[in-house]
Amino acid sequence: MGNKNTINHIGVIREVNTNNIKVNILSVSACSGCHAKGACSMADVKDKIIEVPKANDIEYTIGEKVNVICDEELGYIALFWAYVFPLILVLISLFVGSFFTEDERIYGIISVAILIPYYLTLKLFKEKLKKRFIFRIEKIK
């Protein structure tokens, strides 16, 4: 089931095409594994569809359970671009904005608004990022 340098999720194959396979994985936050999750509104469980390049020599069927694998390093890179860098942008814009105006609302709004072009830019580069973040699957034995 992978080694210590990979991130693994169990998934179910939803679609098989000539070039790729779509796998449904259950993304679970840390608190959703808690025994009190039913009484807590913080539980976060979401279905996600992952596209995996199809290996020509292995046959997969719809509904089959597989192990979805990603290199741990790529997980850290994704974490950086999705959460850490935007946080840095917000903090820098708050700091710089405080020098230009004393109205906290203005530089607060600008600091949050700076995320709009950032995430739109990420969306524009979605196809390029897809090529970088490659997932693999393996049959569960």
119-129 average pLDDT score: 91
pLDDT for residue 83 = 93
Segment 13-26, tens digit of pLDDT: 999 988 889 999 87
**Residues facing residue 26 across a β-bridge:** 47
Residue 90 confidence class, pLDDT cut points 50, 70, 90: very high
Residue 3 confidence class, pLDDT cut points 50, 70, 90: low
**pLDDT over 90, % of the chain:** 35
Residue boundaries of the structural domains of the chain: 6-139
43-52 average pLDDT score: 75
The model carries a pTM of: 0.65
Q: Give the 3-state secondary structure of 53-105.
A: ECCCCCCCCCCCEEEEEEEHHHHHHHHHHHHHHHHHHHHHHHHHHHHHCCCHH
